Amino acid sequence: MDHTQEAEKKIKSLKKKIQNYNAQYYENHRSVVTDYTFDQLLAELQSLEQKYPQYQTQDSPTARVGGQVDKKYKTIAHQYPMLSLSNTYSEEEIKNFVARVKKLSDHPTTLTFVCELKFDGVAVSITYQNGLLKHAVTRGDGTQGDIITQHIQRIPHIPKKIIPSPTADLIEVRGEVFMPKAVFEKINQQRIQNQSTPWSNPRNTASGTLKTLNPQMVADRSLDVYFYALPTPLPHIKTHAASIQQLIQWKFRVSPTYTVCKDIEDIMDYIAFWEKKKREMPLDIDGIVIKVNEIAHQQKLNFTAKSPRWAIAYKYTPTTANTFLKKVSYQIGRTGVITPVAHIQPIHLAGTIVQKASLHNASYIKNLELHLEDKVTIAKGGDIIPKIIAVDKNQKRGEKHIRITFPIYCPACHTTLIRTGEEKNIFCPNHLHCTPQIKGKIAHYAQKKAMNIAALGNKTIDLLFEKKWISCPADLYDLSLEKICQLEGFQQLAAKNLLKGIDYSKKIPFEKVLFSLGIRYVGITAAKKLAQYFKNIDQLIRASFEKLMEVPDIGEKIAASVQNYFQKSDNINHILRLKNAGIQLEIYPENKTFVLKKYPFFQDKKMVISGVFEKYNRIFLKNKLEGYGSKVMTSITTKTDYLLIGHQPGARKISEAKKHHVKIIDEQALEKFFSDNER
């Protein structure tokens, strides 16, 4: 066979394979291969077709959108075809895209882009006629789709009416319907309990739900939607960002994660930022979408048969590797929850050597049917803890393969472990005497977000615990300089420093004290709400379950946990000791103004943020700064006071800051300002 014959054969086989995967994906909601493998096959086919155009056919999956209309449903033609996005896993290709788009622009220096997350769900198009919802349609084959109006109306906050436009009778909006990850996990847990096969992923489950003939399922399964496009041209809308603003004004749900980018640096910042943060989103994100912002330029660039030339998707490369399971150990958290940890044969993964991987909880191990020496797949992306995501189903197990069973007794204090009814966690109930729990509670109390006793790290906690001087946070306030100086490695200065930190914690406001107590499920936000509502600890201790439920955003789970905590006499005694030590157990009346008056560093300052921050996602950082009275701007001018930089800040931002003599602050310095300000 010569080269051309070989190419023809390969093209045919790739086409068949991809068509088969497409059919499984769009019609049966099944992913037979990962998205990454699928995209690689498609890219291979595309490059072969480019090299041998004589074998390119109309029906090739590279020339068509993958889906098909469903025969069960009434269909309707789209007013504007619903196309795909060309995608890439390479930053180089994003640079090429930006360069290409700029080259074709009449105003390359002022051209802007919008970066958005690529939501992994099911595309929907909704048409409004004279302001009233007319129909909702799936993507189908890109030209026509299935009518799913009834289904879509079961999603909360879908506007039934919008303000009609004087220039267009029909207005079409587009978005992505999805199943939140938390809902998916809950449903799957239930399925496992009922011995049903768990569903494979939230996207396929959402897609299947839209295909059921009972629209109520959409509500029962809590499907949700994010809108991201307004294909109907409207004269007042000149940019994609303006169309998003219009969607927001019409009360469509839009994810606040989109950003206008001026150049490739901004785009790369966005890519790097969301690579780390995407898992904090309530839904799966499989990449980002970069769109030309100016509609006039979008129109000039136009479409190919399959996708717009003015947009591209950048997909994050999943990082997985295979290795062997050597041992499972068990960590005991401050609340007594036991977390299994897998020790694996070390492997290189995403630039680091991985030796340990997360196993979440007992049911995770059970579902994997994990055995020692099993061949396992480890996944790691960005900064997440590596985890075991699969066990090789085809391996042959022998004698050395011993089934992993969860321990019955606490590995630290040997108390019989407990599994509560509705929870998948197994925990040790010996909260007063189990060493890792005691140390964990003290570390939680001392951490920065809590009582901020910086000098009290884990090593010092170990030393103090060994001397039997501390077994709960209140014991910290009985420590003396004399005692601390007896600790190994503690000179006068270090000892004084520790005491100063402990003393300073008496100024920490009530809401943080409440968080520091480590009441199960009471995180920073819940603690704040409870503190604001009850004003002091005595009222909170006395609160009935019903009263607790009256607090905004406090549900049954937290209310029950709070009640349970205060029903234990040793917790009440502990609080009394904290009270005697002078800890703030009621809210300080003008907390915020006090902070701002005394530490005006942030007040009225104009800030610009660039780069990726270790501790903050950008939206959070912006909110925090604004809470302190700063103004956060996107570009540097002579009026800017500070440029805050994380990792890989934009080079242009730095040079502009230098040009305008704007002070540059890195994350470490920023942290210091925050901690001074929050004291």
Tokens of 103: 């080259």
Per CB under 6 A, the list member of 45, 171, 229, 254 interacting with ligand IVH is: 229
Does residue 314 bind ligand IVH (CB under 6 A)?
Answer: no
Does residue 154 bind ligand IVH (CB under 6 A)?
Answer: no
CB of 113 to ligand IVH, least distance (A): 13
- Closer residue to ligand IVH (CB): 270 or 445: 270
Considering only 77-85, 320-328, 469-477, 541-549, which stretch makes contact with ligand IVH by CB under 6 A?
77-85
524 within 8 A of 516, measured Cβ to Cβ: no
x-or-dash string of contact with ligand IVH, 254-293, rule CB under 6 A: -----------------------------------x----
Max Cα distance, the chain (Å):
89
94 within 8 A of 312, measured Cβ to Cβ: yes
Within a 10 A sphere around the Cβ of 213, how many other Cβ atoms?
9
Per CB under 6 A, the list member of 38, 97, 119, 490 interacting with ligand IVH is: 119
CB of 221 to ligand IVH, least distance (A): 19
**Cα–Cα dist 9/1, whole Å:** 10
Does residue 172 bind ligand IVH (CB under 6 A)?
Answer: no
- Interface with ligand IVH (CB under 6 A), residue total 13
**Cα–Cα dist 446/490, whole Å:** 18
CB of 632 to ligand IVH, least distance (A): 24
- Closer residue to ligand IVH (CB): 208 or 308: 308
**Cα–Cα dist 401/323, whole Å:** 14
Per CB under 6 A, the list member of 11, 42, 69, 85 interacting with ligand IVH is: 85
Considering only 80-88, 193-201, 464-472, 479-487, which stretch makes contact with ligand IVH by CB under 6 A?
80-88
- Closer residue to ligand IVH (CB): 310 or 515: 310
Do strands 352-358 and 338-349 pair parallel, antiparallel, or not at all (unpaired)? antiparallel
**Cα–Cα dist 401/370, whole Å:** 9
- Closer residue to ligand IVH (CB): 202 or 386: 202
Per CB under 6 A, the list member of 131, 308, 381, 629 interacting with ligand IVH is: 308
Residue nearest ligand IVH, Cβ-based = 123
- Write out 436-501 in H/E/C secondary structure: HHHHHHHHHHHCCCCCCCCCCCHHHHHHHHHCCCCCCHHHHHHCCHHHHHCCCCCCHHHHHHHHHH
Per CB under 6 A, the list member of 39, 116, 224, 374 interacting with ligand IVH is: 116
Per CB under 6 A, the list member of 83, 225, 244, 662 interacting with ligand IVH is: 83
**Cα–Cα dist 140/78, whole Å:** 10
The CA-based angle 273-676-679, given to 5 degrees, is 110
DSSP structural state of residue 198: P
Does residue 123 bind ligand IVH (CB under 6 A)?
Answer: yes
CB of 581 to ligand IVH, least distance (A): 52
- Closer residue to ligand IVH (CB): 121 or 340: 121
- Closer residue to ligand IVH (CB): 85 or 636: 85
CB of 24 to ligand IVH, least distance (A): 17
Q: Which of 450, 448, 497, 442 is nearest to 466 (CA)?
A: 442
117 within 8 A of 278, measured Cβ to Cβ: yes
Known catalytic residue at 103 = no
From the candidates 15, 118, 291, 512, which is the catalytic residue?
118
Does residue 84 bind ligand IVH (CB under 6 A)?
Answer: yes
**Contacts by residues 91-99 (CB-CB < 8 Å, ≥ 24 positions apart):** 91/268, 91/271, 91/314, 93/312, 94/264, 94/267, 94/268, 94/271, 94/290, 94/312, 94/314, 95/264, 97/290, 97/312, 98/263, 98/264, 98/267, 98/290
CB of 181 to ligand IVH, least distance (A): 16
Cα of 90 vs its chain's centroid, Å = 22
Which residues of the shown chain bind ligand IVH in the complex (CB under 6 A)? 83-85, 116, 118-119, 123, 139, 176, 228-229, 289, 308
- Give the residue numbers annotated as catalytic, written as ranges: 118
